[in-house]
Amino acid sequence: MALEALEALRQTFPEIAKDIKLNLQNVLEGESSLTSEQRWGVAIASAIASRNAQLRDATIADARKAGIAQAVLDDAAASAVVMGMNNIYYRFRHMVGKESYSQKRAGLRMMRIGQPATSKSDLELFSLAVSAIHGCEVCVQSHEKTVTDHGLTEDQVNDAIRIAAVFQAAAFALQTGL
C-alpha cells in the first residue's frame, strides 16, 4: 500500500506528534484483521469526520492509488455525512436523559445507510468509526452490534477504532500550528 500523499503529510507533523506519525503508518500498513477495502474505507470516513481537508484529500488520493473501488469511497463518504447528522441527534437524546425524547420520531432521512454500494457490514463499520470520533455512545453501541451480528469480529472492530483514533489525532497534529 503506497502512502505517497499521506507520507508527505506525515512529514509535516510537529515533533510533539511523533507517535501519531508512526501510528498513522502502522494502522494503514501494519498487521490488521481488516481487508484493504475495510481499512481504507474506515480511514476515509475517519479523515472526513476529523474535518481536516489536508488529511481527507491525502487519504482519498492514496486510496485511489491503491486501487480502492469508488464504491468504497462512496460508502465511506456517505457514512461520514449521515453520521454527522445522526451522531448529533442521537447523542442529544442520550445526553439529555429524558425518556420522552426517545419516544419521539426522529424524522431524519437516512436511506443511504440501508443501501450500501459495498456491503452492509462495511458501511456499518465505517459508520462505527465515525460515531466513535463524534463520541455518540448509543451510535457506537448500535453499529458495533450490527457489524458483529453481520459476522465481523471484535478484532476487526478494534482495528477500525484504532484507525479512527489515529486519524482524529492526526487531524489535531496538523492543526497545532507548531
- Scan for cell 451510535, then name that residue: 139
* CA angle, residues 77, 71, 63, in degrees to nearest 5: 70
pLDDT at 113: 85
Catalytically annotated residue among 3, 6, 17, 139: 139
Catalytically annotated residue among 17, 47, 136, 161: 136
**Residue 139 among the catalytic residues:** yes
Tell me the H-state helices in 97-136. Answer: 99-102, 120-134
> pLDDT digits over 40-88, tens only?
999 999 999 999 999 999 999 999 999 999 999 999 999 999 999 999 9
pLDDT at 1: 52
pTM to 2 decimals? 0.95
Which fold is adopted by the domain 4-175?
Answer: AhpD-like (1.20.1290)
- Scan for cell 506528534, then name that residue: 17
Residues of the chain with pLDDT under 50: none
Q: Which residue type occupies 47?
A: A
Domain ranges for the chain, please list them: 4-175
**Residue 7 among the catalytic residues:** no
